[in-house]
Structure 1
Amino acid sequence: MSISTFAKKLSTAAIAATAIVLGIGAVAQATVLTFDDIPPIQDSDLIPNGYGGFNWDNFYYLNGSQDNISLSGYDNGRVSGDYVAFNGSGDPALVSDGIFDFNSAYLTAVWNNGLSVTVEGFKSGATLYSKTVVVDTTQPTLVNFDYFGIDELRFKSFGGVEPDYLAGKGMGTQFALDNFTFNEKATSVPEPTLLPALLSIATFSAGSVLRRKQLKQS
C-alpha cells in the first residue's frame, strides 16, 4: 500500500471515529406504543403519566373490541391488539416529555367520517410543526409526521359527519390513536464551534501516525 493511499484511509478512519464519539449520524432506536401493555380495564381510563416515558393530558385508552362500540373507530382503529388511545370528550389532548422525535401514528375517526385532526409539535413553547389530516371511521390511517427535536405534541380534532351506520351509538369528535412511534431521544449534534476543533485533532493524530510510518520506511 502506498503512503498516499494509507494517509487517505487513516484520515478517513480518524474522522469517522470522531463522528462516532460525537454521536454524528447516530440513529435513535424507534419505540412503538400500542396501548396494549397498560393494565386492562373494563371501560376506559386515563393513560397513566409515565407510560412510554411521557406525560399524557386528556388521553384515555379502552378495549375497542367491545360489542357496544363495534363498527366505530374504536373498533376499526385497532392496529395491534385490542386497545387504542383516544382524546377524552373530543377535546384537545397533549403528550409531552424531554426532547424526542415523533415518527408516525395510526389515526381513526371514532364517530364522524371526514374528521379533521390537527397535530402540532412544540419545543419550549414554540411551534415547530403542524399537520392536519382527514380520517374516517372505517379504517386506520397511517400518518408519517417526522417531527424532530420536540418536547410536546398537541392533538385537536374537529368537523366531520356521523354516518348512518353509527347513528345512536355515540357522537363527538373523538379520534382513536394506535401504534404511536417515536425515538426516545433526538439525534444529538455537536456545537458548530466545537466540530472544527475536534476534526483538527483527528487530522493531527492521523498525520502523526503517518509520519511514524514514513520514518520506519526510511
Structure 2
Amino acid sequence: MSISTFVKKLSTAAIAVTVIVLGIGAVAQATVLTFDDIAPIPDNDRIPNGYGGLNWDNFDYINGSNTALSLTGYDNGRVSGDYVAFNGFGDTALVSDGIFNFNSAYLTAAWNNGLSVTVEGFKSGATLYSKTVVVDTTQPTLVNFDYLGIDELRFTSFGGVEPDYLIETGGSGTQFALDNFTFNEKVTSVPEPTLLPAILSIATVSAGSVLRRKQLKQS
C-alpha cells in the first residue's frame, strides 16, 4: 500500500471516529410504557406524575381484564399485560415533560366505534404536529406518530357510535384506551462545536503517529 493511500484511509477513519463521537450524545433509547408496572389495582386510578419520567394530566389506568369490561375497548385494547391507560371522563388528556420524542402508541375506542382521536404535539405552546385517527372497540390500532422535539402531547377524542353489543354494559362515552406508549427520553447534549477542532486534532495526531511508525518500519 502506498503512503498516499495509507494517509487517505487514516483521514477517512479519523473523520468517521469524529462523527461517531459527536453522534453518541444524540442517541436515546426508546422507552415503552405498558402501564402494567404501576401499583396493581382491581379497577382504575390516576396515573401518577413521574411515571416513565413524564407528567400525566387526566390519564387514568385500568385493569382491562376485569370481566365487567369484557368486549369493551379496555379489554380488547390490551397489547401487553392487563392494564391500559385512558382519558378520564372522555375529556382531553395531556402528557408533558422537558423535551422528548413521541414515537408510537396503540389506540382503541373504549365504547364508541368510529371514535376520532386527535393527538397534538406542542413545544413552548406552539403546535408542531397534529394527527387524527379513527379507532374501534374491537382491536388496538398501532399509530406511528414520530413527533420530534416536543414538550407536550394533547389527546382529544370525539364522535363515534356505541355498538349494540356494548349498550347492555351500561357504559358509554368518548374514552379511548392507550397502550404501549413509546417515546424517547430527553435528547442528551452533544459535544460543543468548539470541541470539534480538538477531536480532529487528536485524530490527526494519532494518524500521524501511525504513519511515522509505518515509515520507520519501511526504512
Q: Quote how far apart the aligned CAs of 1:100 are.
A: 1.4
Structure 2 CA distance for partners of 1:101 and 1:90, relative to 1, 3 Å: same
Aligned equivalents of 1:109, 1:156: Cα separation in 2: 12
Aligned equivalents of 1:187, 1:103: Cα separation in 2: 17
Q: Quote how far apart the aligned CAs of 1:185 are.
A: 2.8
Letter aligned with residue 178 of structure 1: D
Counterpart of 2:159? 159
Q: Quote how far apart the aligned CAs of 1:130 are.
A: 1.0
Q: Tell me the SS of whatever aligns to 2:19.
A: helix
Q: Tell me the SS of whatever aligns to 2:41.
A: coil
| Mapped contact 2:95–2:152 kept (Cα < 8 A) | yes
The aligned runs of 1:23-62 (5 Å cut-off) are 23=23, 27-62=27-62
Counterpart of 1:179? 180
Deviations 1:92-132 (A, max 9, x none): 11111121111110000001101111111112222111111
Letter aligned with residue 163 of structure 2: P
| Mapped contact 1:18–1:198 kept (Cα < 8 A) | no
The aligned runs of 1:103-122 (5 Å cut-off) are 103-122=103-122
| Mapped contact 1:101–1:149 kept (Cα < 8 A) | yes
Q: Which runs of 5+ in 2 are unaligned?
A: none
Letter aligned with residue 162 of structure 1: E
Structure 2 CA distance for partners of 1:142 and 1:195, relative to 1, 3 Å: farther
Counterpart of 1:17? 17
Structure 2 CA distance for partners of 1:99 and 1:6, relative to 1, 3 Å: same
Deviations 1:150-188 (A, max 9, x none): 111111111111111111421110000000111113375
Q: Tell me the SS of whatever aligns to 2:75.
A: helix
Letter aligned with residue 182 of structure 2: T
| Mapped contact 1:11–1:202 kept (Cα < 8 A) | no
Q: Quote how far apart the aligned CAs of 1:4 are.
A: 2.3
State whether structure 2 residue 76 is matched by structure 1 residue 69. Answer: no
Structure 2 CA distance for partners of 1:2 and 1:97, relative to 1, 3 Å: same
**Alignment length (residue pairs):** 217
| Mapped contact 1:23–1:187 kept (Cα < 8 A) | no
Counterpart of 2:81? 81
Letter aligned with residue 79 of structure 2: V
Q: Quote how far apart the aligned CAs of 1:5 are.
A: 2.3
Structure 2 CA distance for partners of 1:198 and 1:61, relative to 1, 3 Å: same
Q: Tell me the SS of whatever aligns to 2:149.
A: strand
Structure 2 CA distance for partners of 1:2 and 1:187, relative to 1, 3 Å: farther
Aligned equivalents of 1:8, 1:119: Cα separation in 2: 50
Aligned equivalents of 1:120, 1:209: Cα separation in 2: 54
Structure 2 CA distance for partners of 1:135 and 1:187, relative to 1, 3 Å: farther
Q: Tell me the SS of whatever aligns to 1:99.
A: strand
Q: Percent of pairs identical after alignment?
A: 78
Aligned equivalents of 2:191, 2:125: Cα separation in 1: 23
Letter aligned with residue 122 of structure 2: F
Q: Which runs of 5+ in 1 are unaligned?
A: none
Letter aligned with residue 181 of structure 1: T
